[in-house]
């Protein structure tokens, strides 16, 4: 599977940046701003719609959604690289914490936030 | 390198969800909300600070940042899976578009948005 | 009705800031970050919930919601003041544009975004 | 001063909505999504820029900024109305809490978040 490796994707993104000398603009704070802006652009696609209309919008705008997901991953990869965070390990660690916080016996079939109120 | 494969990380996240029967709560719209909320939690860490104070906050709160990046990747992986989007390919495609939009000769050393105004 | 005037509310917020010498931290960019972070905290209250559960969360967390709305208005008032924007006039102007963009005859009963696709 | 009263602005916004029968789309959750999306559009204007370039962008795009502030106030007014929250009182109450949390003697000249770490 091509493009399945985080390190290969990070290299793609970093080579692009290095060639343009853009690291100077990519402070962690700017990258975090960027991530929020892109995540909000993604959410905008789902805005005001419910049910069948929402489904239709999703199908119709699949390539936009794909683009926004690419944008978000782009910012995340740069942030992780610049802050020397192992992104895959960050996720694995998060899932270990989630396993402890939401044991199957207690959490099954209940929305996370609902569960937190217990 | 462990946890470097997007498909392996997606499996981790999906197995966790399946065991808890949480897919029912994870509509694309809710996942997009989730991504914005987490991205904003990340941005909050950088808020109000500049210069040396910002540097110090970043060092001090590195594990929180790592956690939030994990959260964001978590939502992105679920969204991509549920919408049958190949996340790595989405990023690669985005980079191809960016190559065309920001050729090195034109974009080098100029911030992206500045460049867009040309 | 007390606290109904934008200029009186702006004065409240500005006097608070002046007394603490906080204008130095309140660049428009930081205030815009602040607004996104607070808006996302508000959205977080509605996250993962639907129907009756959502209704219950809203009732239960009404004072949190009120707080977040206050936070958002706070940032907006400071931004408007610092950029010499008349906030009430900005809204009135926006409504005039919306009147032109969404005439009653065309827009009645249709969600805004749906309408935009026509 | 025209358009200085929150209740008059709320009436403007509500009359517009009633005429179009749009209340059905304006659940609190959708309005909160809307607020985040608009706040992120505002933040996008300040993105990637610092110093003189940021200043120039702000001057050049003042009417866009004004528009986004109007959008944000629009969503906040609707949310407050629908949830029967007195928006002006919400802000006044928030300022009372802030007075208690950040007494002048302790907070003067220190950024809020820095202060919270004390």
Q: Say what the ipTM of the complex is.
A: 0.94
CA atoms within 13 A of residue A91's CA, in its CB half-sphere: 27
Q: How far is C2 from chain B (nearest CA, A)?
A: 31
DSSP code for C60: H
Instruction: List, for chain A, all residue ranges whose pLDDT scores fall below the cut of 50.
Output: 117-118
Residues 6 through 35 of chain C touching chain D, CB cutoff 8 Å: 6-7, 9, 12-13, 16, 19-22, 24-25, 28-29, 32-33, 35
The residue written with tokens 């204007």 in the block is D45
Choose the closest CB to B70 out of A24, A69, A91.
Answer: A91
Average pLDDT for residues D47-74, to the nearest whole number?
96
Q: What is the pLDDT of residues C52-98, one digit of tens each?
A: 999 999 999 999 999 999 999 999 999 999 999 999 999 999 999 99
On whether the CB atoms of residues B62 and B18 are closer than 8 A, the answer is no
DSSP code for D23: G
Q: Which residue of B has its CA nearest to C40?
A: B37
On whether the CB atoms of residues D80 and D86 are closer than 8 A, the answer is yes
Separation CA D52–CA D69 (nearest Å): 23
DSSP code for B102: S
Using a 10 angstrom Cβ sphere, with 0-12 exposed, 13-18 middle and 19 or more buried, the burial of residue D65 is buried
Separation CA A28–CA B46 (nearest Å): 8
DSSP code for D110: S
Top residue of C48, C54, C74 to mutate, by most chain B CBs within 10 Å, is C48
In sequence order, what DSSP letters do the residues of chain A get, joined into one string?
-TT-BHHHHHHHHHHHHHHHT-GGG--HHHHHHHHHHHHHHHHHHHTT--HHHHHHHHHHTHHHHHHHHHHHHHHHHHHHHHTT--HHHHHHHHHHHHHHHS-HHHHTTS-HHHHHT-
Using a 10 angstrom Cβ sphere, with 0-12 exposed, 13-18 middle and 19 or more buried, the burial of residue D92 is middle
The residue written with tokens 């390990």 in the block is A89
Q: What is the pLDDT of residues C22-58, one digit of tens each?
A: 999 999 999 999 999 999 999 999 999 999 999 999 9
pTM of the model: 0.95
Q: What is the pLDDT of residues D7-55, one digit of tens each?
A: 999 999 999 999 999 999 999 999 999 999 999 999 999 999 999 999 9
CA atoms within 13 A of residue C71's CA, in its CB half-sphere: 20
The alpha helices in chain B, defined as continuous H runs, are: 6-20, 28-46, 51-60, 62-82, 87-101, 104-107, 112-116
Mean of the per-residue pLDDT values of chain B: 93
């Amino acid at each position: 599977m091509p493009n399945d490796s985080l390190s290969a994707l990070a290299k793609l993104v970093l080579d692009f940046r290095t060639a343009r000398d853009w690291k100077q603009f990519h402070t962690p704070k700017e990258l975090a701003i960027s991530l929020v802006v892109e995540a909000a652009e993604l959410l905008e696609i789902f805005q005001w719609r419910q049910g069948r209309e929402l489904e239709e919008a999703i199908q119709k705008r699949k390539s936009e959604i794909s683009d926004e997901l690419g944008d978000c991953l782009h910012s995340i990869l740069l942030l992780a690289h610049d802050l020397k965070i192992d992104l895959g390990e960050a996720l694995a660690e998060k899932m270990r914490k989630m396993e402890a916080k939401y044991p199957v016996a207690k959490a099954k079939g209940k929305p996370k936030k609902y569960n937190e109120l217990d």
